[in-house]
Amino acid sequence: MFHKFRIPLRRAIYLDSDAGVAFCSYSYFPRWGFSKDLSSPNRHSLIVKCRVAENLNLAEDPHRRLNPLTNEWVVVSPHRAKRPWQGDVAPLPASVEPEYDPNCYLCPGNVRAGGIHNPHYASTFVFDNDFAGLKTDIASDRFDLDRKRLLVAETERGICRVMCFSPRHNRTLATMCVDEIELVVRAWMQQFRELGEIDFVQYVQIFENRGAMMGASNPHPHCQIWATQSIPQEPSKELASQTTYFNTHNRCLLCDYLELERGQSVRVLCESARFIALVPFWAVWPFEVLICSRPHIGSVNEFTDDDSRQFSAMLKQVTSTYDKVFNAPFPYTMGFHQSPTDGAEHPEWHFHAHFYPPLLRSATIRKFMVGFEMLGTPQRDITPESAAERLRALVQGCS
């Protein structure tokens, strides 16, 4: 009996479960227990002896998982989840933010760097970052000592903006209502469209750092928007993987991935007609979440009114669920990966948002990327399935 199944970034494999043999139309395999029989008369129809993972228990055995978006691995060590903790257990500082802070440089009417006064805004507020990491008024140039591509540098033009979500200093996406979040989403749509139309801008990255643990310099609810001359490193890796998959299968990588996840359902947190939130199979951070559009959408430029509404509700659901995990404000870095604005068509790209929260065992105990994770491969103890189960128990429902 033949069964067809897919391996991320590879072509379809047909498995004969009776003979224990697989037939594939591609000549390279990742190291997943496949051994190639190169004696096949057709080098593009290799016969592969496939070791089915009958002995691998994903809930108990140490193993590694592939992230098909970046083609990188994460080591999962479920058996370590019960180890005793003797690390940092600093108490969570009690702080209640006021609705308006006269010392906050993001609150309405207050003074920013250089004596600039904020307007008395009543909704969202966008301005060019007073301490921008990139500039627009620099000449294009490149440095390559002796043309050996060892000491290389090149100019990077860009625009950096800050967007306040609300005039209220003590609000967050988790505490804002869906109507308020939708105003934020529509502002993101406007900024993405405006910046993406600038001739030198190839990519627009929208991201939020929430909480001092993530390096946020101000608790006022806000995000940053960077429009860059080149496609940044992380989206570049995802672009390469999605392009390879699309060219190989004539299908979208994330569309196929979502079909598998919805079929298993163990990592799905909630879904609506247009969006789905889940803990990805390859999650690195303890309570990492991926939000994807269910239909194939490349960017917020393609959002309908219904999309902006449902995406707002999904953001509210995920962020408010996070705050229930340890009954405290949940820090994270969140950002959208959207199709490049380089003027090319990108049928391979699928809109998605990443949430990377560092908390591990409590509101003060975080995961650190150190040791083997810095020098070797990222590693986690809590399985993505266990994290999803915990988050799903706190979800109120999606609409």
Q: Is there a single domain that holds both residue 297 and residue 180?
A: no
Q: Is there a single domain that holds both residue 27 and residue 130?
A: no
- pLDDT at 49 (0 to 100): 41
- pLDDT at 211 (0 to 100): 81
* 169 catalytically annotated: no
- pLDDT at 96 (0 to 100): 83
> Which helix H or strand E contains 203, and what residues bound it?
strand 203-210
- pLDDT at 170 (0 to 100): 95
* Domain endpoint, select from 228, 253, 270: 228
Residue whose entry in the numeric block shows the structure tokens 């960017």: 299
pLDDT(225) > 90 = yes
- pLDDT at 10 (0 to 100): 38
Q: Is there a single domain that holds both residue 140 and residue 10?
A: no
Strand partners for 291: 277, 353
Number of domain units in the chain: 3
Whole-model pTM? 0.85
- pLDDT at 43 (0 to 100): 34
DSSP conformation letters of 267-330:
TEEEE-SSEEEE--TT--STT-EEEEESS---SGGG--HHHHHHHHHHHHHHHHHHHHHTTS--
- pLDDT at 361 (0 to 100): 83
Q: Is 321 domain-assigned?
A: yes
Q: What is the mean pLDDT of residues 203-221?
A: 90
Please choose, from the candidates 290, 287, 292, 262, the residue with its C-alpha nearest in 3D space to the C-alpha of residue 391: 287
The Cβ-side half-sphere exposure at 328, using a 13 Å CA radius, reads: 17
pLDDT(8) > 50 = no
Q: Is there a single domain that holds both residue 350 and residue 276?
A: yes
For residue 304 the two structure tokens come to 């309908």
Q: Is 142 domain-assigned?
A: yes
Q: Is 104 domain-assigned?
A: no
- pLDDT at 213 (0 to 100): 82
Spatial separation of the C-alpha atoms in residues 309 and 116, rounded to whole Å: 34
Q: Is there a single domain that holds both residue 217 and residue 321?
A: no
Q: Is 302 domain-assigned?
A: yes
- pLDDT at 399 (0 to 100): 52
Poorest-pLDDT segment among 37-46, 159-168, 238-247, 377-386: 37-46
Q: Is 239 domain-assigned?
A: no
Looking up residue 343, the CATH number of its domain turns out to be: 3.30.428.10
* pLDDT: which is higher, 39 or 227: 227
Spatial separation of the C-alpha atoms in residues 331 and 364, rounded to whole Å: 10
Spatial separation of the C-alpha atoms in residues 384 and 280, rounded to whole Å: 7
pLDDT band at 157 (very low <50, low <70, confident <90, very high): very high
pLDDT band at 50 (very low <50, low <70, confident <90, very high): very low
Q: Give how far the C-alpha of residue 230 lies from the chain's centroid of Cα atoms, to the nearest Å.
A: 19
> Which helix H or strand E contains 260, and what residues bound it?
helix 253-264
- pLDDT at 261 (0 to 100): 98
Q: Is 233 domain-assigned?
A: no
> Which helix H or strand E contains 209, and what residues bound it?
strand 203-210
Q: What is the mean pLDDT of residues 291-319?
A: 98
Q: Is there a single domain that holds both residue 274 and residue 153?
A: no
Q: Is 388 domain-assigned?
A: yes
Helix (H, G, I), strand (E, B) or coil at 177: coil
Q: Is there a single domain that holds both residue 81 and residue 141?
A: no
pLDDT(188) > 60 = yes
**Residues of the domain holding 12:** 2-50
Q: Which is catalytic among the residues 222, 337, 352, 354? A: 222
Q: Is there a single domain that holds both residue 40 and residue 79?
A: no
Spatial separation of the C-alpha atoms in residues 6 and 28, rounded to whole Å: 14
Spatial separation of the C-alpha atoms in residues 344 and 305, rounded to whole Å: 25
Q: Is there a single domain that holds both residue 180 and residue 68?
A: no
pLDDT band at 83 (very low <50, low <70, confident <90, very high): low
DSSP conformation letters of 13-77:
EEEETTTTEEEES-S---SSSEEEETT-SSTTSEEEEE---SS--TTTS-EEEEETTTTEEEEE-
Poorest-pLDDT segment among 14-28, 43-57, 113-127, 258-272: 14-28
Q: How far is the CA of 338 from the CAs of 64, 84, 128, 302, 312, in angstroms? A: 27, 41, 21, 11, 17
Residue whose entry in the numeric block shows the structure tokens 């900024």: 191
In percent, the amount of the chain with pLDDT more than 90 equals 74
Q: What is the mean pLDDT of residues 241-255?
A: 98
**Summary mean pLDDT of the chain:** 86
Cα dihedral across residues 74, 78, 79, 85: positive or negative:
positive
Helix (H, G, I), strand (E, B) or coil at 175: coil
Q: Is there a single domain that holds both residue 23 and residue 153?
A: no
Q: Is there a single domain that holds both residue 185 and residue 261?
A: no
Q: Is there a single domain that holds both residue 68 and residue 39?
A: no
Q: Is 105 domain-assigned?
A: no
* pLDDT: which is higher, 314 or 369: 314
